[in-house]
Amino acid sequence: MEIVSINAENFAEHPGAICFINPKNSSFPLKIEWIKQRLSEGLRIKLLYTENRKKVAGFIEYVPGEFAWRAVSASGYMFIHCVWIYPNENKNKGLATRLIEECIEDARQNNCNGVAVVTSKNAFMANSSLFVKNGFREIANDSAGNELLVFTIKEGTLPVINDWKKQLTAFQGLHIIYSKQCPWVARMVEEIKELELAKKLGLQITELKTPADAQNAPSLYSIFNLINNGKLLADRYISITRFNNILKKEKLI
């Protein structure tokens, strides 16, 4: 196996950095734009390739904590946005551990206090068990199935979850608050924009454009929020079908 670090010179050669989005899809450039803006903030993306670089088997994205795209305060830590291994036949072979070790070593080299990550018992995010077996421990949670974990390298102020619930009250009516940090979220939002239903309901769409925006988002995961009158209806990527089902459940359609 081989691990490749993505940078401004080589990311065009590695479409796997855009997380399974087909390069021919109109949403593919959305994450490229986001990556270009974030590299100056210390964004790291590393791809783990199988034999002869034929396929990407693993991915990790992380960033210095002060630039984290989650509702956390994690200055002094490296912060992992996401990690995945694909397909299922590559799982349980230590590949995710290898990528996490890359991040931990990077944190050591940069004199960080440690590494932090938000995990979830719900869908579309890494489970805490992957990190616990690699030396992380839970230090906080949002009582909704999401946890903040940390791997400690040296003593220092621990990361904290920001008061995302306080932000919810500002959003009256139907809203999507999102970021292009996840290309699948960006793709889904682009699709929703074109729905007549969204226009009929007066759906307001707001993009989080900076790490500070994300750290003050109305959910811990930050980068996708479906809100109606201050109530968080979904806090991670959903399909158009799921979007419609949520609206039906809330009796909005």
Domains and CATH numbers, the chain: 164-249 (3.40.30.10)
CA 79 vs CA 2, 65, 114, 239: distances in Å: 23, 5, 9, 27
Residue 185: predicted pLDDT: 94
Q: Which of 114, 246, 242 is nearest to 174 (CA)?
A: 246
- The angle that helices 183-193 and 28-38 make with each other, rounded to 10 degrees, is 130
Structure token pair of residue 102: 């890359």
Angle at alpha carbon of residue 167, lines to 211 and 36, rounded to 5°: 15
Residue showing tokens 């994205």: 61
Residue pLDDT tens, the chain, 253 long = 899 999 999 988 998 899 888 888 888 899 999 999 999 999 999 999 987 667 899 999 999 999 999 999 999 999 999 999 998 899 999 999 999 999 999 999 999 999 999 999 887 788 999 999 999 999 999 988 999 999 999 999 999 999 999 999 999 999 999 999 999 999 999 999 999 999 999 999 999 999 999 999 999 999 999 999 999 999 998 999 999 999 999 999 9
Would you state the pLDDT for residue 85? Answer: 93
Structure token digits, residue 186:
């960006």
CB atoms within 10 A of CB 150: 22
Coarse DSSP helix, strand, coil percentages of the chain, rounded to the nearest 5 percent: 35, 25, 40
Residue 226 near residue 232 (C-beta atoms within 8 A)? yes
pLDDT of residue 151: 98
Q: Give the closest residue to 81 by CA, choosing from 99, 57, 94.
A: 99
Q: What is the pLDDT of residue 19?
A: 87
* CA nearest to 103, candidates 160, 41, 150: 150
Contacts of 224 (CB under 8 A, 6+ apart): 176, 177, 178, 179, 182, 185, 188, 234, 235, 236, 237, 238
In terms of phi and psi (left: phi > 0; alpha: psi -120 to 50; beta: otherwise), the region of 210 is beta
- On whether the pTM is more than 0.75, the answer is yes
